[in-house]
Amino acid sequence: KVKAGLAQMAKGGIIMDVTTPEEARVAEEAGACAVMALERVPADIRRQGGVARMTDPKKIKEIMAAVTIPVMAKCRIGHFAEAQILESLGVDMVDESEVLTPADEEHHVDKHTFKVPFVCGARDLGEALRRISEGAAMIRTKGDAGTGDVVEAVRHARTINRQIRTAQSLDPTELYRYAKELQVPYDLLQRTAQLGRLPVVNFAAGGLATPADVSLLLQLGVDGVFVGSGIFKSSDPPKRARAMAQAVTHYKDPKILAELSENIGDAMFGTPVNQQKRSAHGEASSSGSG
Ligand code: PLP
């Protein structure tokens, strides 16, 4: 399908979050296949709080003018008016993103009504196939954006893989029941089982911070990666951006990954996801790595 064009092109690539034209040029020079134009990277959204909305169109236009690679931008979940505005600006893809504050707790954007392709986040196969049935041309794991902790991205990638294997093991009668359990259209689940993968391009996102993180997720079978805070919250963004872009190409070669991991400054400091969960449950979180 024409709409999936950019997603197909991005396959085997890395998409980087940027907040200025200068960062966009760093990303392009490092070998990013696209950039995501943002007001704040997820780590700052988490830290500063407040309602996170679509980026100022002026900033998006400046970033579009600064690079030759495709430019994506985020709308809030269910905020079809933000999506319409982003489409009118001529962005290459819209990310209907949980990183921003959701605008609708029950409905996602009907993505079939747009010409611009959409990418959506998913934690499991049910979410992924619901987003695809709504018209998403690309899926990414939700992970836990802004933490620098890869654990949730790994959980989501493994969950989707496991549920696809489950679907493949079922006979047609059982597959109807599984479609009901996942709350997804039967035909879409059947096609996914036949393909042995999601029927659209599937990237990892949320917490990736090192070349090794890139390799881990690609070895778990994703088609490419989004890196948000991991690059521009590190101590040497140009070096890290190049190393992580190279890691996408060489993800199967530990020797090259060792070289890429060397002397690239400090990774973003980050917040372990499990420490946050303990804090959220009122338990002590001062023990560090526990
Ligand atoms: N993810 C987020 C962040 C949401 O706010 C919502 C609410 O609708 C969902 C997922 C729901 O997704 P689904 O309808 O696929 O369960």
Pocket of ligand 1 contains residue 102 by CB under 6 Å: yes
Query: pLDDT of 200-252, one tens digit each?
Result: 999 999 999 999 999 999 999 999 999 999 999 999 999 999 999 999 999 99
Of the residues 3, 11, 59, 74, which is catalytic? 74
Closest by CA position to 97, among listed 45, 54, 63, 130: 54
Please name the residue whose Cα sits nearest to atom 10 of ligand 1.
127
pLDDT at 277 over 90: no
pLDDT at 255 over 50: yes
**Chain mean pLDDT for the chain:** 94
Catalytic site includes residue 58: no
Diameter over CA atoms, the chain: 55
- Which atom of ligand 1 sits closest to the CA of residue 108? 8
Give the model's pLDDT for residue 287.
38
Query: pLDDT of 163-193, one tens digit each?
Result: 999 999 999 999 999 999 999 999 999 999 9
Is there a contact between 222 and 157 (Cβ–Cβ < 8 Å)? Answer: yes
Give the model's pLDDT for residue 11.
86
Q: How confident is the model over 131-142, as a mean pLDDT? A: 98
Please name the residue whose Cα sits nearest to atom 11 of ligand 1.
106
Range scoring the smallest mean pLDDT among 4-8, 33-37, 177-181, 272-276: 4-8
Give the model's pLDDT for residue 282.
63
Interface ipTM: 0.89
The tokens describing 220, both together, are: 């778990």
Pocket of ligand 1 contains residue 82 by CB under 6 Å: no
Pocket of ligand 1 contains residue 77 by CB under 6 Å: yes
Pocket of ligand 1 contains residue 130 by CB under 6 Å: yes
Q: How confident is the model over 157-163, as a mean pLDDT? A: 98
Residue 43 and residue 146: Cα distance in Å, rounded? 4
Strand partners, 72: 36, 93
Three-state secondary structure call for residue 182: helix
Sign of CA pseudo-dihedral 96, 1, 185, 172: negative
Is there a contact between 89 and 53 (Cβ–Cβ < 8 Å)? Answer: no
Residue 106 Cα, ligand 1 centroid: separation in angstroms? 7
pLDDT at 45 over 60: yes
Residue 142 and residue 152: Cα distance in Å, rounded? 8
Is there a contact between 77 and 96 (Cβ–Cβ < 8 Å)? Answer: yes
Residue of 45, 51, 98 to test ligand 1 pocket, by largest number of atoms within 8 Å of CB: 98
Give the model's pLDDT for residue 279.
73
Give the model's pLDDT for residue 275.
81
